Structure 1
Amino acid sequence: MTDRKILMIGTAAAIGILAGGALYLTMRPGGDPFAQCSSSAVAGGMGAFGTDFTLTRDDGQRVTDAQVFDKPTLLYFGYTFCPDVCPLDAARNADAEALLVEDGKDVQTVFITVDPRRDTPEILADYTALFSDRMIGLTGTDEEIAAVNRGWRNYYKAHDEEDQEYYLVDHMTNTYLVMPGGQTVEFFSRETPSEQIAETVACYVDASA
């Protein structure tokens, strides 16, 4: 046998071992069933995002994270007085949700306010209804909202030093995919189109089945 044939056989064997090892790592107990779906890389991994919480839903009911995240959820942090970014992002997320529901996927969207002073449950209910019947609005005390934002590493700051009524709030604009049980597995920037979000979420939903 020539050196070239030996090299080719060895290379093929190595590729087979690597492929088999990757499959084993994915399918073995404790492996990552979502490895083929992930497109985001963050320091510390997506497992570092999220926290337990109790907040007030837009119907006035107090709910826990376990009650909220009972199905795959697109989670966004914003506020109803936001003049431009939040409505566009909420509409984009609702579009992604509609595509997934049309494809038979049981998913929802959640909008957590970063402006609890103005965003009462009633205001959130009216706001979320503009985008989707499946969108849930959540608010709480200043301390509760601060804690949940820390859990998802979401920066926000109200510019209300001079005007306590008509002020803007700086905030991050990522959308997170949270699976049932509260596991955050993916995030999307505001540049991600609804079709791409729907495709990625569908991958996670199928992988979890």
Structure 2
Amino acid sequence: MPAHKTLFAALLALSLAACGAATPEPVGEPPLAGATIGGEFELTGETGDTVRWSDFNGQYRIVYFGYAYCPDICPTDVQRAMAGLKQFEQVEPQLGAQIQPLFITIDPERDTQEVVEEFTANFHPRLIGLTGTAEQIEAAADTFKVFYSRGEDQPGGGYLMDHSNITYLFGPDGEPIATLPTDLGPDAIATEIAKWVR
């Protein structure tokens, strides 16, 4: 590894330790090993193409279900997850390139392919936004054990969505590995990714 990358890796490890996050531990059994989370779906990508879970076979996957009109939780979670991924990519660019981040809407009524494309462009150049019919989204959410429901209409117009906000990490065979700690920030996410993506 070039000297500047070695130095960056050392500084990242020190910064993670300073923030109270543990450096990567020896890999044992993944937290979600054996869980029935995730699986085949058929959704619509940002360019209108059909996207399936199997399209990403051989790649690690970060998956988050949310919606573009979310005022706070979704953009915060996605920003932190993608910032953590970018940190990991800086230290391990080859491994980072093997991770495909996915954002799946739970609000297909408003989140068209153009809307999810505009949303994802704010966070990471490789983050893919997916939408679909209400039935396709419901099926995908069920497969990934994600809860969502439409909230009450807001006084100024529009509505909010109630939903679980879990950021999943999946392995190259589509197997669930772990959840990423978006509540702890990008450093903790980079550390968690480094435990499992090898």
Q: TM-score, normalised by structure 2?
A: 0.77
The amino acid that maps onto 1:100 is F
The amino acid that maps onto 2:191 is E
Q: What's the offset of the Cα at 1:120?
A: 0.4
The structure, 1 or 2, with the larger RCO (C-alpha pairs under 8 Å, 6+ apart) is 2
2:145 & 2:183 partners in 1: Cα distance? 19
Larger radius of gyration between Structure 1 and Structure 2: 1
Q: Map of 1:70-149 to 2, 5 A cutoff?
A: 70-103=58-91, 104=93, 105=95, 106=97, 107-149=99-141
Q: Aligned Cα RMSD in Å?
A: 2.1
My pick for the range that moved more, 143-152 or 65-74, is 65-74
- Say whether residues 1:62 and 2:62 are aligned partners: no
Could you say if the C-alpha distance between residues 198 and 189 of structure 1 is closer, same or farther in structure 2, counting changes exceeding 3 Å?
A: closer
Could you say if the C-alpha distance between residues 162 and 87 of structure 1 is closer, same or farther in structure 2, counting changes exceeding 3 Å?
A: closer
Is there any run of 5+ residues in structure 1 with no aligned partner, and where?
1-33
Q: Which residue matches 2:9?
A: none
Percent of aligned pairs with the same residue? 32
Task: Name the count of aligned residue pairs.
Answer: 168
1:76 & 1:69 partners in 2: Cα distance? 18
Q: What's the offset of the Cα at 1:188?
A: 2.7
Native 8 Å contact 1:76 1:110 kept in 2: yes
Q: What's the offset of the Cα at 1:97?
A: 1.2
Matched position secondary structure for 1:92? helix
- Say whether residues 1:204 and 2:190 are aligned partners: no
Q: 2:150 aligns with which of 155, 158, 164?
A: 158
1:122 & 1:181 partners in 2: Cα distance? 29
Q: Which residue matches 1:172?
A: 164
Q: Map of 1:6-17 to 2, 5 A cutoff?
A: none
Native 8 Å contact 2:77 2:183 kept in 1: no
Is there any run of 5+ residues in structure 2 with no aligned partner, and where?
1-25
1:84-137 CA distance string (max 9 Å, x none)? 011111100110110121122222321100001100001111110011101010
The amino acid that maps onto 2:46 is D
1:153 & 1:57 partners in 2: Cα distance? 21
